[in-house]
Chains A and B, each alone.
Chain A
Amino acid sequence: MFRTSNKFILRLLALAALVVPTLIGCGTQESEQEGMELVMWHAYRGGERAALEEVIGSFNAENADRGVRVRLLAVPFDAYADKLSAALPQGKGPDLFIFAQDRLGGWVESGKTVEPIGFYLNPTDHQRFLPGMVDALTYRGAVYGVPLNFKSLALIRNADLAPTEPQTTDELAAAARAFMVARPGEFGLSFEYANPDFQGALFNAFGGGVVSDRGEAILDREQNRKAFELLLKWRDEDKILLPEPTGALVLTLYNEERTPFVISGPWFLGEVDPALNTIVSPLPIIPEADGAPIRPWLLVEGVFVSETAPSSLEAFRVAQYLTSPEAATIFALKGRQLPTIKAIYDDPRVMNDPILSGFRQQLESSAPLPNIPEMAHYWTPGTTAMTQVLRSGRPPADALAEAQAEMDRSIAEMRRSGQ
């Protein structure tokens, strides 16, 4: 009995020896320096990440005497949004983070996530951004983020395979057909048309859309049906579309010079072979839509401040720094991003860049992606509708009507639950 209890005590001590240092170690992770450290999350890789790290490095250097420091943390993109949604309300998330506007409405509605910073923006601040940028980060009258950069789809073409810029979709189809005649077995126009992100561009061009400003689903419309019909025409009559497109497939074909036209965004260019003669131009106009251009959704990435940040004013100052002309130059030239401030586009280095200027021109005909929570109810029924039309040959009107009914139902349920 005595021996057993002795061994038992010894084993307990051994266990404690493992556990206690760990606990102590946890305790000393808190910073013992004076001043404030702000944690900032982002999901950048490659050039964008290097640019961000450089800008934050100079911010830290300039603010060292005030004792304010920013610590960056790169989070993988797949889990990024969910991590934010889960961590921020518990106070375990960052003080600042960079994200697009698509989840803003949802975050504001569920609460305890983002802090409104409209209070700090004065009229001159509003003026220095391109039109529509601050509005994209505004939900129900409150501004939640400082716009950092924007992205949208545009027409990316290999200028060696397709020397002229198509102005209309008919010209685009003709050029694609010509390529396919010259190179049998290849495809003229490659883009992920089954992806609902891309479908929005056509909806908007015809004057349709997904949700109204008041959060009602507007899928079941004549204009959206016409958008589907144009897509089907490209696939079945003109036969220029790549079947079963995925992002990886489009990239591979483009890099192997097996397709001249791609519709994609700045993220695509990060992986394109730099040896290719790539030119970005605005998406062409659609004669069937009364000459309206294809209107891709505009994503605005902003710097958001968490509700649990120690000082929203300091966090806002960081956001201001990131949108200064000096920082914007670094983001544009090294990160290959499109800053939101007007001043940067007077810089000849930016305006003469065929890629940056192409996306900038596309901005004129982009429509901001709605940031309201009702928008989140589009993706699943929208994908279903597209699949039914593209694969099972269901008439667009029926598919859209069913998707609309599904959206109405889930939006109503979401609103009912909030009572």
Chain B
Amino acid sequence: MTTADASLGQSSSSVMRSLWRDRRIVDAVLGVVIALSVGLGVIMWTARSASDGLDTAASAGSAIFKAEMAALGGEAVQNAKGADAVGPFAAQYKNQTGVEALSIVSAPDRILLADGTGAAPRPLGVGDKDLYDRVVRLAAHAETNEIEGQKRKPEILIAQSDQGRYRASAPIRSADGDIVAMAEVETAPVVAGGLRLLLWSSGGLVFGIAGIVFAMRQFPGLGTQKARAGLVVVVSGLILMVIALGVSAQIAAKEEGVLSSLALAQENAFAAAEAAAAAQGVTLSKEPSATSVRSLQARGTATLFRDSALFVVAGATLMSLFGSLGGARRLGQTFVAHRSAYAYVAPAVLGALLLVFFPLIYGVLMSFTDTTLFNVNTPIMERWTGLSNYGAILGDFDIVQRTADGLRVDYQNFYWTVFVTLLWTVSNVVLGVTIGLGLALVLNTPGLKGKTVYRILLVLPWAVPNYITALTWRGMFHPQFGVINQGIELAGGERISWFDHFGTSFLTGLATNVWLSFPFMMVVSLGALQSINRDMYEAARLEGASWWQQFRHITLPSVQPALIPSIILSVVWTFNMFNVIYLTSAGEPAGANEILITKAYKIGFEQYRYGYSAAYAVIIFMILFVYGYFQVKATSATEAKG
């Protein structure tokens, strides 16, 4: 029996088993599965929300009328004769357009409701609060748009009514352009067609996996893992791109359909309004509409979707490398091998996911948007601005400006703040380590009396909550009543206005933070010092080494493995030491003394620019991440040196 016959005779399950055992194929398939599931998941989710938005617009758009039912609204509704005319007008309009529900609410000071049955308008009752609020809200939106000179607020409100129908409320303007009434129509929901998302995603997954397996069986010569990973990237990237562009084309088509049906509906509605008004003996003006079709929810949805989808494709394709380079398989193997250990760790992992990773990812996402107080509740796609926040932060090189007073430093500039932060970090860590190590050396003197007492006293600054310390030091630096200035005066010097200049203000923060940080360094150094063998010093002294040489060649190398991780920690903590800067000097004078984290806080919570502030925070994170990575590599900190 030839090998070919043997392979033909094998059952499909044994074929699958032999595939499974082939590590290379498993890796590649995992890579494709990861990329496709992440990519498809995100793309389908955004496609669904985009599609829902279009559905809403489509449903309401089947009967919306333009805002220039002007002449009728203005005069007819505002005087007594008109109040009677509103009822019949509404009834005729309803008959001619076939809308199911229609109501017209007259000017707020009259508040009369006509409901299209032809009956006389009635005043609003207690149950009509929602209606009243809509009238006021519509007027407020129009006023806001007029003040800001842009169509920021929608002037046609679309929502679902209690009965599940779609309701559109539009303003009625008088000839002067004032809003004198509001008209509402309700229609049954109109289904604008699905996107066949399930078909796209399942098709994509099948093609992707089959394609990879096929390619790998056909080309067993794909030697290196990197080549296979590259193949996976290319294949999954291509499939995702095809799907993204396909879905995006469908959304564009749907959007076009919705917009054209909206425009058509408006024409029909206006024609019906003209006819109804003519029957009342009123001619409507033909001024251009104050509210355009584009003010409805169909606003460049397709373009937004396509841009964000391509972004997602890039990200998901990169994620395939986790699978195709073997990471996913090895992770799965360890999960299986150490199941009980993972079960114990699971609650902590869950907690970390919720409390650390989710806010982190949310913050990173927000940094790509221009979220501010105004748009914090809108869908995230509408706020997406890509890398513009980063560009604005990192691209601003105007640190020094030439003004009438000479050269002025722009203290709000990112690079100035980076400079201050680096200066702050370096000076604090250097001073903290020096003082900490020095005190540890003193405390380590053999035969020192009262060592325990000294240790407790010297650790106290670390024990007191740091915001109390910061506020206390702020009080001590008060130019008039502060202890430090009074001490200087007693010594014969002149009072210093600590917070008036950058240099002195920086010193206040430095003093406070060194006070806070030296105990930590001292404790770490003391622990390391106590593990040094005394005999080495004896031997060195016998050899004639000076104190400095003993320090350099015995003490420092032994203390280093404990001190290096502490320095890394201290650098990260000091870089982000919000309390001391914010509470002691508050960035005085005029923001010159701020570090990156206080600047990010002020931007986020005093100016409400959440997206920009999130970008700031991500930049801080990247700086510290790069620093930490290289520092650990460079010093191989976890290994002790002989």
Contact = CB atoms under 8 A, between A and B. Distances in A.
A80 to B, nearest CB: 14
B461 to A, nearest CB: 23
A63 B140 CA distance: 36
A214 interface: yes
A413 B150 CA distance: 13
Contact of B383 (A142, A215, A417): A417
A76 interface: no
B133 A215 contact: no
Q: Determine which residue in A384, A410, A413, A418 has the highest number of CB atoms from chain B within 10 A of its CB, and name it.
A: A418
A110 B148 contact: no
Interface stretch (B35-43, B71-79, B606-614): B606-614
Contacts of A119: 129, 132-133
B52 to A, nearest CB: 19
Q: How would you classify the secondary structure of chain A's contact residues: helix, strand, loop or mixed?
A: helix
Q: Determine which residue in B129, B137, B151, B609 has the highest number of CB atoms from chain A within 10 A of its CB, and name it.
A: B129
Given A110-B376, A140-B140, A398-B404, A387 B588 contact: yes
Given A140-B140, A215-B148, A380-B607, A243 B377 contact: no
Given A243-B479, A387-B589, A418-B374, A142 B608 contact: no
A239 to B, nearest CB: 13
Given A109-B374, A141-B140, A243-B480, A419 B150 contact: yes
A77 interface: no
Interface in A54-101: 82, 89
A89 B126 CA distance: 26
A312 B499 contact: no
A111 interface: yes
A235 interface: no
A141 B480 CA distance: 49
Contacts of A215: 147-148
Interface stretch (B285-293, B365-373, B426-434, B538-546): B365-373
Given A109-B374, A410-B609, A415-B152, A142 B343 contact: no
A204 to B, nearest CB: 22
A135 B370 CA distance: 32
Contacts of A244: 478-480, 499
Contacts of B140: 139-142
Contacts of A398: 403-405
Q: How would you classify the secondary structure of chain B's contact residues: helix, strand, loop or mixed?
A: loop
B132 A214 contact: no
B482 to A, nearest CB: 9
Q: Size band of the A side of the interface?
A: 35 or more
Contacts of A89: 376-377
Contacts of A200: none
B476 to A, nearest CB: 12
Contact of B137 (A142, A380, A416): A142
Nearest to B383: A417
A116 B136 CA distance: 9
A413 B132 CA distance: 32
Nearest to B340: A8
Interface in A357-397: 373, 376-377, 379-380, 384, 387-388, 391-392, 394
Contacts of B340: 4, 8
Nearest to A213: B147
A380 B412 CA distance: 11
Q: Determine which residue in A8, A242, A414 has the highest number of CB atoms from chain B within 10 A of its CB, and name it.
A: A414
B152 A388 contact: no
A141 to B, nearest CB: 5
Interface string A8-43: 100010000000000000000000000000000000
Interface in B451-479: 478-479
Given A242-B480, A388-B589, A391-B499, A419 B152 contact: yes
Interface in B110-149: 126, 129, 132-133, 136-137, 139-140, 143-144, 147-148
B311 interface: no
Interface string A114-144: 0010111000000000000000000111100
A313 interface: yes
A415 B609 CA distance: 11
B398 interface: no
A242 B480 CA distance: 9
A334 interface: no
A312 B129 CA distance: 10
A418 B370 CA distance: 9
Contact of B373 (A249, A380, A387, A414): A414
B588 A391 contact: yes
A379 B499 CA distance: 19
B499 A414 contact: no
A106 interface: yes
A120 B126 CA distance: 8
A414 B370 CA distance: 9
Contact of B377 (A111, A313, A384, A417): A111
Contact of B136 (A120, A141, A373, A417): A141
A112 interface: yes
Given A4-B340, A142-B133, A110 B374 contact: yes
25 contacts: A4-B340, A82-B605, A89-B377, A106-B608, A110-B374, A110-B375, A110-B377, A119-B129, A139-B140, A140-B144, A141-B108, A249-B478, A376-B608, A384-B590, A387-B590, A388-B589, A391-B590, A392-B500, A414-B372, A414-B373, A414-B609, A415-B148, A419-B150, A419-B151, A419-B152
Interface of B: 108, 126, 129, 132-133, 136-137, 139-140, 143-144, 147-148, 150-153, 340, 343, 370-377, 383, 403-405, 412, 478-481, 497, 499-501, 588-591, 602, 605-609, 611
Given A244-B479, A249-B481, A398-B403, 5 more contacts: A109-B374, A118-B136, A242-B480, A391-B590, A392-B590
Top-9 shortest CB links A-B: A140-B140, A418-B374, A391-B500, A417-B370, A384-B590, A387-B590, A119-B129, A142-B136, A119-B132
